[in-house]
Amino acid sequence: MMSDFMDDDNQFNHPNARRRICNVCERPATVCLCDSIPAEPFSTSTQIIILQHPHEQRHPLATVPVLSKCLRSCQTLIGRRLRRGGSALLDSLHDAATEENPNQCLHAAFLFPGTDLTPSMEINQWKSSFGDDDSNKFVLIAFDGTWKHAKEMVCSSFPFLSKFATQVCLSYDANVDGGTIYNSELILRKEPFGGCMSTMEAVARCLRVLEPNGVDIESKLISVLRTMVSFQASFLKPLKPRPKLLKTRKDDEKKIS
């Protein structure tokens, strides 16, 4: 019987050591997710397109490779912006919108928090603006990268996307600090502010709203993400409280005087 693992020269702690990589989930054997990833990808009526920044392709904490193994209708595009020619589906949506095609039945949204110049609509509100006949006709577009890269990707893609897609968001609070892996079981990397999350979690939250069986899909995706985070957290050292800074001689002199 052929092994499901292969050797790889990259190692987290020892760059020159070899480690075993799972051929199925394509992760190191020590953090294999095959027991959590569904045997058959979930089918969704919502079509998902993710623009992934090139720097994220090989990042060990990227969630998109895992997400794409969980969802059947999930397409990943590598690049820094969306434009005509990158996706047949997006091209068709763009052409239908610019030609005012009344037969276009798909509704597209791209997920990113809004600004004063480009406000966003909460995805629940956006979904509620359509009738029941439109419940299975959505296209969700997400951006995968660091916060800085994601903002750049959205800005670069906006002239194309704004022709046919609505900017939507999940609940967030820019005045609250973002979470970390030390205080959340769903966060892999430090988030910039409250409500920010990984691409996998964001898509799961959106599918809860858009899909008829969204609660079940969200629950299963979040379960996979939780396992992924728990593996990573097991390798972390506990945070030590910062020692109080020693007072300088000048501070001491001020007290004496």
List pLDDT tens digits, range 88-140. 999 999 999 988 666 667 899 999 988 778 889 999 999 998 877 665 689 99
Per-residue pLDDT at 1 exceeds 50: no
Q: Provide the token pair at 158.
A: 């906006």
Could you tell me which of 61, 48, 41 has the C-alpha nearest to residue 220? 41
- Residue 12 confidence (pLDDT): 45
Average pLDDT over residues 176-199: 67
Average pLDDT over residues 11-40: 77
Per-residue pLDDT at 239 exceeds 60: no
* Helix, strand, or coil (residue 111): strand
Could you tell me which of 61, 54, 73, 224 has the C-alpha nearest to residue 143? 54
CB 152 within 8 A of CB 51: no
Q: Which of 38-42, 84-88, 149-153, 237-241 has the lowest mean pLDDT?
A: 237-241
Average pLDDT over residues 229-244: 65
Which helix (H) or strand (E) covers residue 176, if one does?
strand 173-177
- Residue 214 confidence (pLDDT): 95
Placement of tokens 């501070």 in the chain = 251
In which band, very low, low, confident or very high, does the pLDDT at 166 lie, cut at 50, 70 and 90? very high
In which band, very low, low, confident or very high, does the pLDDT at 4 lie, cut at 50, 70 and 90? low
Greater pLDDT, 231 or 112: 112
Q: Are strands 47-52 and 19-22 parallel, antiparallel or unpaired?
A: unpaired
Mean of all residue pLDDT scores within the chain? 82
Tell me how far CA of residue 250 lies from CA of 16, 243, 245, 247, 254, in angstroms. Answer: 49, 20, 14, 8, 6
Greater pLDDT, 107 or 250: 107
Residue 64, judged by CB atoms within 10 A of its CB (0-12, 13-18, 19+), counts as buried
Per-residue pLDDT at 175 exceeds 80: no
- Residue 2 confidence (pLDDT): 40
Q: How far apart are CA 78 and CA 80, in angstroms?
A: 7
Per-residue pLDDT at 256 exceeds 90: no
